[in-house]
Structure 1
Amino acid sequence: MKILLAGTPNFSVSTFTKIIENFEVVGLIAQPNKPVGRKQILTEPPTVILGKYHKLKIFQPERINDIFEELKMLDFDVLITMAYGQIIPENILKLAKKGSYNIHGSLLPKYRGAAPIQYALNNGDTETGITFIEMVTKMDAGDILFQEKIKIEPDDNLDSMLEKLSILSSKYIVDWLDKIANNDFQKKPQEESLVTFAPKITKDDEQIIFDTMDRTINKIRSLSSVPGAYIILNSNNQRMKVFKATKQVVKNAPEIKCSDGFVYAIEFQLAGKRKVFLK
């Protein structure tokens, strides 16, 4: 079975590695290289580094439709996307002879969209998971083929959940694709009445505002460590990023006033300064 991959961040790497090791991969599509860090060094996405290591054919178009003719020549059976970053148009979805499928980081139909893990943490959910769906032109709306759950622990944050869900996906992907190859699966339509959305996080979403202690901590968890939640300290608009906070009083920890008390920043960073870690 010939597979074409489309994904960009490190979140996709473990799963793509398993696919590359167990199936014939004819190419990998990722977003273009982006400037990274203070020096804005043009950097290849993690999946591109993986693809080059395995000598795969790499595509990094600004718009995926720009490479339609090249993809058509690949003659592949299955398209797998995982955190690619662009909507796949119908003409490309139809190129895959056995179907086009997406690996999504939530228990669909909950949290369709770009930031499902952030929303699960921000809302204080106690479980999430990975959903393998058939791709359609409507975002994350295709039929469900496979789904696996995982607990969200109280000390989990965005970093830890990205790692856990990446591992969870890689654990099951070979079995799922074997079932695709053998037509050994059933599709289940998503229940539209249960749909919720997780749109892309904006700068305004990153700001810590006057809220309850629990919701403040959840917001910090959902954005740690990238991009990091922030609080405005003074009238000069000085910002402090907060990566971890607790309800327990900690010596020298900055206080964050909430509607029902205070939380204390124990991992934080002022603009232009090093990150501070308090026990």
Structure 2
Amino acid sequence: MKDLKVVFMGTPDFSVNVLHHLIAQTNVIGVVTKPDKLVGRKQVLTQSPVKKVALENGIQVIQPIKIREEYQNILDLNPDVIITCAYGQFLPKEILDYPKYGCINVHASLLPKLRGGAPIHKAIIYGYPTTGITIMYMGQKMDNGDIISQKSIAIEETDNVGTLHDKLSILGADLLMETLPAIISGQSNQIVQNEEEVTFAYNISREEEHIDFNKTKIEVFNQIRGLNPWPVANTILDEEEIKIYEAVIGEDLYAEQANGEIVKLYKDGIGVKVSDGEIILKTIKPAGKKKMSAKDYVNGWKEKNNLIGKVFR
């Protein structure tokens, strides 16, 4: 496939494995990614991970602010196929209709489940036992194109969004390279998505980051690991925001306590009442401080017992 002219569109770390595979096995003639952005407190102008890889390999980079209005220079590259992976903008019909092999997307869910920008987070938050990768033709609506191939992966209880992200990034690159020859030869099978089975995984909102201790143990557990290591679940204690990175499921006790109440201090955790028992917070980050173990946080209190009965909200 070394003579296959590819334009690749992607932005975050998740896209990098796909780009590396394409560079190794095809002729990547251009990379389209989001514009550089200001990052952090010092507002440092930062390139996307995909742009860095493209420049390291001497590949032309195009960074339209609005691709629906700025696409002619992409068409001028005359690609045989356009491949996208977490690019972040909807493509206009002029691009979708241009390449002879179409516009192919690598999506991190088993479509039609979890269309949208946060399928890895939401697969964990919603408690899915499995997720996977879908290779699909792009349509004019969000992730609604025909399915070409899929491969599933189990979501382990030890997974968080970071570990699952890395697994799916590898799986996505491998499945794309397995699928491309059939696309090029015209032997790929297209499956129209069943609209009755569609679910959505919109980008995480600020409200979704906040823990609702009125939920069940498994719901709170899945929320915490589904937001770790980014953007991270949070709660409030004594008017201070605390980020929660890790937790484990606790006992089916404490029926009389209020949801969100600290009910027990363990050697390595803080037991908090939820609707059907207890969730044990293990790794946290108080505002203005470094990430720490719950043990270190508790040891920082002069009177540890004063924590018992306090309520997260």
Does residue 1:81 correspond to 2:81, yes or no?
no
Indicate the residue corresponding to 1:138 in structure 2. Answer: 141
Indicate the residue corresponding to 1:128 in structure 2. Answer: 131
Deviations 1:70-116 (A, max 9, x none): 11210111111100111111111112121001111000001111111
Q: State the secondary structure of the residue aligned to 1:178.
A: helix
Distance 1:80 1:115 in 2: 19
Report 1 or 2 for greater relative contact order, CA contacts < 8 Å, sequence distance ≥ 6. Answer: 1
Distance 2:212 2:42 in 1: 31
Q: Please, which of 108, 120, 126 is the counterpart of residue 117 of structure 1?
A: 120
Q: State the secondary structure of the residue aligned to 2:234.
A: strand
Distance 1:172 1:92 in 2: 24
Amino acid at match of 2:272: I
Q: State the secondary structure of the residue aligned to 1:64.
A: coil
Indicate the residue corresponding to 2:241 in structure 1. Answer: 239
Distance 2:120 2:150 in 1: 15
Distance 1:262 1:36 in 2: 37
Does residue 1:20 correspond to 2:23, yes or no?
yes
Amino acid at match of 2:231: P
Task: Count residues with an aligned counterpart.
Answer: 277
Distance 1:170 1:246 in 2: 32
Conserved 8 A contact 1:118-1:158: yes
Q: Please, which of 185, 205, 216 is the counterpart of residue 220 of structure 2?
A: 216
Deviations 1:141-185 (A, max 9, x none): 111001000000001010001000001112222221122121121
Conserved 8 A contact 1:127-1:151: yes
Indicate the residue corresponding to 1:271 in structure 2. Answer: 287
Distance 1:146 1:169 in 2: 11
Matches within 5 A, 1:1-279: 1-210=4-213, 211-234=215-238, 236=239, 238-248=240-250, 250-251=266-267, 253-277=269-293
Conserved 8 A contact 2:5-2:28: yes
Quote the offset at 1:200 in angstroms: 1.3
Conserved 8 A contact 1:34-1:42: yes
Conserved 8 A contact 1:78-1:98: yes
User: Tell me, which stretches of 5 or more residues in structure 1 are unaligned?
Assistant: none
Give me the TM-score of the superposition, normalised by structure 2. Answer: 0.85
Amino acid at match of 1:257: K
Structure possessing the higher radius of gyration over alpha carbons = 2
Conserved 8 A contact 1:19-1:173: no
* Larger CA deviation: 32-41 vs 50-59: 32-41
Q: State the secondary structure of the residue aligned to 2:30.
A: strand
Quote the offset at 1:68 in angstroms: 1.6
Distance 1:65 1:140 in 2: 17
Conserved 8 A contact 2:135-2:175: no
Distance 1:30 1:256 in 2: 43
Percent of paired sites with the same residue? 38
Conserved 8 A contact 2:33-2:51: yes
Give me the TM-score of the superposition, normalised by structure 1. Answer: 0.95
Deviations 1:210-235 (A, max 9, x none): 2111100100011001110001113x
Distance 1:202 1:179 in 2: 38
Distance 1:84 1:95 in 2: 18
Quote the offset at 1:252 in angstroms: 5.3
Amino acid at match of 1:223: L
Conserved 8 A contact 1:112-1:196: yes
Q: State the secondary structure of the residue aligned to 1:219.
A: helix
Distance 2:20 2:266 in 1: 42
